[in-house]
Chains A and B, each alone.
Chain A
Amino acid sequence: GAVVSQHPSWVICKSGTSVKIECRSLDFQATTMFWYRQFPKQSLMLMATSNEGSKATYEQGVEKDKFLINHASLTLSTLTVTSAHPEDSSFYICSAHGLAGYNEQFFGPGTRLTVL
């Protein structure tokens, strides 16, 4: 149980285009999903927290108009990087929370974004 998937696993795009990343909880309903980005050899940086059916809460310094998050159902959240630039290249990882126990977060496999 507690499987989280992400799609795509990697994407290469041109500067100025938008990219959508999907995060799905496969065998449980996720009341909350989190989006992180991770640079090489660094820790995970929380970008935003999303709850199903409500607006995402962004961490300080994260541009909400650039990183659009939608949590339309209890099993799906999407992150759209709008007008991507090379500095947005990173490893984006989602996690999901919502099991009977509390606080556990289960992570997806990550999406490698490269902006040319």
Chain B
Amino acid sequence: GENVEQHPSTLSVQEGDSAVIKCTYSDSASNYFPWYKQELGKGPQLIIDIRSNVGEKKDQRIAVTLNKTAKHFSLHITETQPEDSAVYFCAASNPYTGANSKLTFGKGITLSVRP
């Protein structure tokens, strides 16, 4: 089955700097890669996603890039703000497993933005 690795487990950046979070996946058939932000005590919030037919997608300060050959994808946050501090999860999905779009999650990374 799919295996999603997310490293490191924590990342600290200065407010205004950029943050990059990387994930790797193992199943070359996976074609959907969402990123979720989870604040303490809340459910994950979908912030951006990408499908395998594109290499990059942007939404204001957030972008995601996908390298299918290397099987890794990254979340880029520019001009970080304290409210970006949260746990970020990457995930991958293979629609051909017949598993109703089941997502495989990485272990999450805690991003801290220092004021």
By a beta-carbon cutoff of 8 Å, the part of chain A in contact with chain B is 2, 4, 6, 32, 34, 42-44, 46, 49, 51, 57, 93, 97, 102-110, 112
Complex contacts, A105 vs chain B, CB 8 Å: 34, 46, 101, 103
For B106, the closest partner residue in chain A by CB is A43
Stretch from B36-44, B60-68, B71-79 at the A interface: B36-44
Across the interface, do B101 and A44 meet the contact criterion of CB distance under 8 Å? Answer: no
A102 to B94, CA, bound (A): 11
Complex contacts, B32 vs chain A, CB 8 Å: 102-103
A109 to B110, CA, bound (A): 19
Complex contacts, A51 vs chain B, CB 8 Å: 100
Interface residues on B, range: 20 to 34
By a beta-carbon cutoff of 8 Å, the part of chain B in contact with chain A is 32, 34, 36, 41-46, 49, 89, 93, 95, 99-103, 105-108
Across the interface, do A102 and B101 meet the contact criterion of CB distance under 8 Å? Answer: yes
A112 to B44, CA, bound (A): 14
Across the interface, do B43 and A102 meet the contact criterion of CB distance under 8 Å? Answer: no
How far does the Cβ of B43 sit from chain A's closest Cβ, in whole Å? 4
